[in-house]
Structure 1
Amino acid sequence: MQATRISLFAMMLAAAGLPLYIHLPRFATVELGVSLATLAAVLAGIRVLDFVQDPLLGWVTDRWPQERATFAALAAFGMAVGFLLLYTYRPTAGGVLPWLVIALVLLFTAYSLGTVLFYGQSTALAGSPEALIRLAGYREGGTLAGIILAALAPSLLGALGASQAGYSAFGAMLAGLCIVVWWLTRGLWTTTPRPEQPLSIAALREAGGFRLLALALVNSLPVAMTSTLFLFFVEDKLELPDMAGPYLVLFFLSAGLSVPVWTRAADRFGARNVLFPAMVLAILSFVSAAFLPAGAALGFALICVGSGAALGADMVILPVLFSRMLARAGLQAGQAFGLWSFAAKLALAAAAVLLLPLLQLSGFTPGGQNSTAALQTLTWAYAIIPCCIKLIAIAMVLRLPRKVTAP
């Protein structure tokens, strides 16, 4: 029963993660009329808030562990309201931009609270490294289901006749999902974490936590970049707008099917030895996208399969390594996963902050007529720059100390 609850809660959280960055650039520019540079500035400002907020949320959950069920309710209802404000409600006064900022702050805050709670509770429920990696499989399965659902829903709802390209109904659907998941997962919070050593910078550094946090940040940047630009690349560079949904399904289905393979391989050969080939696969996949001409449907499908499989390794191995590190050191998980959540969100925001103004400077217009130079900039931002960053992540994996990657 707890495994099912873990999958459901992971599915809810996933809807506010990667899919938000897949939809947000096109939604904000086309539906709301916000420029790419303005959106990048908004996301950068929210990440400054997260720098203080995420560790604070972790401290709160560690300080009052008996209130985890209450915190989970706040996270679920906060996300529900945030989805409605972002996608469904349109302000009649005050302009779109202030409302967009309010909606995103609420949504990201609730998402952070849910993420910190969830990863800390997973560690408490597992009780052993072996059980932790089994729970990680259920967690990532739910995560992938949530990503696929949230990535595809707007286009499907739009095809069924929903207004605003399906986004208005999308917000209502996700709000309902959050409420239902909260109700079904109330039993997830009955287990109270055992007393642990309070988190400190010195203890986290000694346990190898900062190395893993840095790796998580750098390694998340490439997929954050490609996710942010995915719809632009498929619709404007490849000129295959009707294929965006099927490509997303293929990408995340490949990631989901690869998770059990990577999990067993990590148990047998070690995390470092598995992360390295997975990262190489990601580079080979995305660098190939730079050479695709318009209309290359099959070629991009193969890239989705390869890059999705590489993502599966990132999703399951790095969080488990971080959880194992905390368990070995006896450190409280709440604040630590507050930092982990911040690193993941910082990568997504950094991708938008770095790439969206670059596209605007090149003259790129989403859904419009674009020059060869603008499309070339899009190609470099989508395919080449992420590969260069992935090379840095590979070097960081090879330098991980044995105590960090040990079971």
Structure 2
Amino acid sequence: MTTAARAPLQLPWRTGLAYGALAAPLAFVSLPLYVNLPHHYASVAGAPLAALGGVLLATRALDALIDPALGRLADRLFRQGKGQGHAWWAAVLGCVLLALGFAALWHPPKDSATAMLVWLAGALLLTTLAYSAVCILHQAWGTRWGGAPAWRARVTAWREGATLIGVLLASALPLWLGFDATSALLVLGLMLGLWSLHRLKLPVAQLADPVAPSPDRPQRSPWANASFRWLMLVFMLNGVASAIPATLLPFFVADRLQAPQWQPLFLLGYFGAAALGLPLWVRAVGRRGLAPSWRAGMGLSVLAFAATPWLGAGDGAVFAVICVASGLALGADLALPAALLTGVIHQGGAGGQSEGRYLGWWTCATKLNLALAAGLVLPLLSWAGYRSGSTDAAALQALAWLYAGLPCVLKLGAALALWCAERHHPTWRHTT
């Protein structure tokens, strides 16, 4: 066992800000892709709902399968040369491709449904692959620092806090300014984020983990790590539970609540509450530990969301309150799983060597969650007789139960799996 100095509990704000800055423009991509894109192609472009769900499932699943290879590439880039130069230039290339793909997504050909769906598949693959490559590099940058649970929670909180700022802007700007203006702002944000990352000085890793990394140790697959397998099970159950409402929100707001004009306010309330709640969850980690705090966030989410299937037209104000309450719970989902992952990596002896491998599979799981959400619930809605703009009572009730009822069940399953994982890995409950 190697003893190392413990990381300071306070992360310098300049370091946190410089590291997290790139996450804000990346959120300009993630939110429109997973919230606005399905509704845009179904309602504006007129794509068939079942075919659209199939294309989203296929492209996101293919994209997800490539992420582990992107993770291995990230590890090689960080190992090459001195400093982070190779990784930074790879991030620059990824940002260029990301901006081009994102702009193309919102201008599909409309002469035929086939051409439209082919365009969607190609542009979506380019955008999401570039997005994944940049995200993996960015996350590995902070994951390499290691540290005690409170330190790790602060690192991820800075990144996810910047993400929430980007999400708050992306939740309103596409609807108010259009996607062309949003694409231009994306380019500006990526440039500023890359500049901040380039100037960032990597802190000395002051790990509080029991295993020190060794360059001579053969690197095992992340799946050989039992802690990682448990964490991925919880992460995927919880992730699908969160991805289903993200996919169905525009349909639920427009057709069930009949309040499409309120959607920007719902999103602002949801993500604004998450941003305000992040410091509270970071503080909770210092008192209760990472896993118990995450479980508390899951429970709060279920309590906040449980009444949603019974809402209908005219209940926009009630839904706004639900958005704020569930947004507070979202802060736990944003900051704590990644902090647990950092601990799993360093305690498994892979710190400073194989962050990319782990993060490649982590990003893969994130996309599979979204692919499963779109590929399963959209065809189920079609089978239930729902179409965008439908007024049929039975179809709208099916929409409500898929939007809110199914995620609550999955969240409870994730909380149970996390409780079982804690029995096998008591360090997940540690506060220091």
- Could you say whether these structures have the same fold, taking a TM-score greater than 0.5 normalized by the shorter chain as the test? yes
Q: Is 1:61 matched up with 2:74?
A: yes
Given the superposition, is the C-alpha separation of residues 326 and 289 from structure 1 closer, same or farther in structure 2, using an over 3 Å criterion?
A: same
Q: Is the 8 A contact 1:77 1:179 kept in 2?
A: no
Question: Hey, which of these two has a bigger chunk of helix by percent?
Answer: 1
**Match of 2:23, SS?**
helix
1:192-229 Cα distance to aligned partner (Å, 9 max, x none): 9986556423x653350111112111111111101111
State the aligned residue count.
397
1:96-121 Cα distance to aligned partner (Å, 9 max, x none): 22221111001110111112111111
**Match of 1:16, SS?**
helix
Which consecutive unaligned segments of at least 5 residues does structure 2 have? 1-13, 81-85, 206-212
Q: Is the 8 A contact 2:19 2:196 kept in 1?
A: no
Q: Is the 8 A contact 1:88 1:169 kept in 2?
A: no
Given the superposition, is the C-alpha separation of residues 229 and 92 from structure 1 closer, same or farther in structure 2, using an over 3 Å criterion?
A: closer
Q: 1:124 is matched by which residue type in structure 2?
A: R
Q: Is 1:144 matched up with 2:157?
A: no
Q: Is the 8 A contact 1:222 1:386 kept in 2?
A: yes
1:101-151 Cα distance to aligned partner (Å, 9 max, x none): 111001110111112111111022455554322222211110101111112
- TM-score of the superposed pair, with normalisation by structure 1: 0.91
Q: Residue 156 of structure 1 is aligned with which of 158, 165, 176? A: 176
Q: Residue 230 of structure 2 is aligned with which of 211, 215, 233? A: 211
Q: Is the 8 A contact 1:207 1:404 kept in 2?
A: no
Q: Residue 199 of structure 2 is aligned with which of 167, 187, 190? A: 187
Aligned to 1:382: 403
Farther off after superposition, 302-311 or 357-366: 357-366
Aligned to 1:163: none
Across the aligned residues of Structure 1 and Structure 2, the Cα RMSD in angstroms comes to: 2.3
Aligned to 2:269: 250
Q: Is 1:355 matched up with 2:377?
A: yes
Matched ranges for 1:21-170 at <5 A: 21-65=34-78, 66=80, 67-88=86-107, 95-125=115-145, 129-157=149-177, 166-170=178-182
Q: Is the 8 A contact 2:61 2:368 kept in 1?
A: no
Output the CA distance in 2 between the equivalents of 1:61 and 1:77: 17
Q: How much has 1:289 moved relative to structure 2?
A: 0.6
Q: 2:253 is matched by which residue type in structure 1?
A: V
Q: Is 1:178 matched up with 2:190?
A: yes
Given the superposition, is the C-alpha separation of residues 198 and 246 from structure 1 closer, same or farther in structure 2, using an over 3 Å criterion?
A: farther
Q: Is the 8 A contact 2:45 2:110 kept in 1?
A: no
1:224-243 Cα distance to aligned partner (Å, 9 max, x none): 10111111111110111111
Q: How much has 1:49 moved relative to structure 2?
A: 1.9
Output the CA distance in 2 between the equivalents of 1:215 and 1:56: 23
Q: Is the 8 A contact 1:51 1:342 kept in 2?
A: yes
Output the CA distance in 2 between the equivalents of 1:72 and 1:185: 10
Aligned to 2:83: none
Matched ranges for 1:193-342 at <5 A: 199-201=219-221, 204-206=223-225, 208-331=227-350, 332-342=354-364
- TM-score of the superposed pair, with normalisation by structure 2: 0.86
Output the CA distance in 1 between the equivalents of 2:22 and 2:244: 26
Output the CA distance in 1 between the equivalents of 2:69 and 2:37: 26
Output the CA distance in 2 between the equivalents of 1:360 and 1:175: 37
Output the CA distance in 1 between the equivalents of 2:244 and 2:394: 19
Output the CA distance in 1 between the equivalents of 2:296 and 2:336: 13
Output the CA distance in 1 between the equivalents of 2:65 and 2:387: 35
Output the CA distance in 2 between the equivalents of 1:132 and 1:389: 27
Output the CA distance in 2 between the equivalents of 1:91 and 1:382: 29
Q: Is 1:391 matched up with 2:415?
A: no
1:245-301 Cα distance to aligned partner (Å, 9 max, x none): 011000001111111111111121122322222211111221211121211122111
Q: Is the 8 A contact 2:31 2:170 kept in 1?
A: no
Aligned to 2:6: none
**Match of 1:370, SS?**
coil
How much identity, in percent, do the aligned residues show?
34
